[in-house]
Amino acid sequence: MGLRKFKPVTPGTRFRVGASFSEITATKPEKSLVVSSKKSGGRNNTGKMTMRYLGGGHKKSYRLIDFKRDKFDIPATVATVEYDPNRTARIALLHYVDGEKRYIIAPEGLQVGQTVVSGETATPEVGNTLKLGSIPLGSIVHNVEIHPGRGAQLARSAGAYAQLAARDGKYATLKMPSGETRLILVTCLATIGAVSNSDHANEVLGKAGRKRWLGIRPRTRPVAMNPVDHPMGGGEGRSSGGQPRSRNGMYAKGFKTRTLKKYSNRFIIEKRKK
């Protein structure tokens, strides 16, 4: 995995830094694991725009990803490592010995031909999925469950990982990608290793059109709007806009929006870095 710097043959490639795709081994997805994906363009069921700055973009089909890893003690061979237009990480196609095929999020270092397994008998090696109670302390993990059996919800994007810091009773202490330290039940599953495509953060799109291909339309700065459209709009000349806030008046810089009585507050040992 790496980056590719383009020669400045056009204005769009002058500053572009893209992925090399050197780890990709297949260009067409597994047909049985692909479903159609419909775009909303930011509109709801009545056709009214409820999300601004969305629309257009390249047509995509959705790859069904196995976030639960619930085929326990059945080995699977990594058949391909593929690009997924719906996420920043790469995905890997697994061929189980019983004939079933599933996609998983590919961890860093996963190779074609490698065998992975999920369950109590699994060893703590890259790509294997175990309960947090069976993983050695200090290990790097991703695809972490919050509730047992619900499927992975934490550390799923490119380059993300959590670190298993400690265990005490029925809870394990994990350091999250955000820097937050929190408790998670030891019966929750996690996959060994960090998520692939860690260089994604260093990519440079190079031109506005590439953002449009992703389905994101140009965003209007609030200070350029009128007072009727945004609290930061209006004023004579180039006014600063006042206190940064959202369109409905919610403060945007330093104002805490987390619910004080949220159920998961008691599981947080140390808050994320500011």
pLDDT over 90 at 254, yes or no:
no
Provide long-range contacts, Cβ within 8 A and 24+ apart, for 246-251.
247/222
pLDDT at 243 over 80: yes
pLDDT at residue 274 above 80? Answer: no
pLDDT of 242 over the 90 cut: no
Mean pLDDT of the chain: 95
Give the model's pLDDT for residue 44: 97
CA dihedral 66, 72, 78, 81 (to 10 degrees): 20
Nearest to 42 by CA among 33, 53, 34: 53
In contact, 203 and 3? CB cutoff 8 Å? yes
Q: Determine the topology of domain 3-201 in CATH.
A: OB fold (Dihydrolipoamide Acetyltransferase, E2P) (2.40.50)
- Tokens for 23, please give them: 């780890």
When pLDDT is averaged across residues 6-13 and rounded to a whole number, the result is: 96
pLDDT for 240 beyond 90: no
H helices of the chain, in order, are 208-213
Domain 3-201 and domain 225-274, same fold? Reply is: no
Q: If pLDDT is split at 50, 70 and 90, which confidence band does 1 have?
A: low
Give the tens place of pLDDT for each residue, 158-188: 999 999 999 999 999 999 999 999 999 999 9
Q: Provide the residue ranges of all domains of the chain, joining segments of one domain with +.
A: 3-201, 225-274
What six digits make up the tokens of 194?
């960090």
Q: Which of 76-80, 143-147, 254-258 has the lowest mean pLDDT?
A: 254-258
**10 vs 256: which has the higher pLDDT:** 10
Looking at domain 225-274, which CATH architecture does it have? Irregular (4.10)
pLDDT digits (tens, 9 = 90+) for 18-54: 999 999 999 999 999 999 999 999 999 999 999 999 9
**Is the Cβ–Cβ distance between 130 and 172 less than 8 Å?**
no
**Residue 17 — very low, low, confident or very high, per pLDDT cuts 50/70/90?**
very high
pLDDT of 250 over the 80 cut: yes
pLDDT confidence bin for 89, thresholds 50/70/90: very high
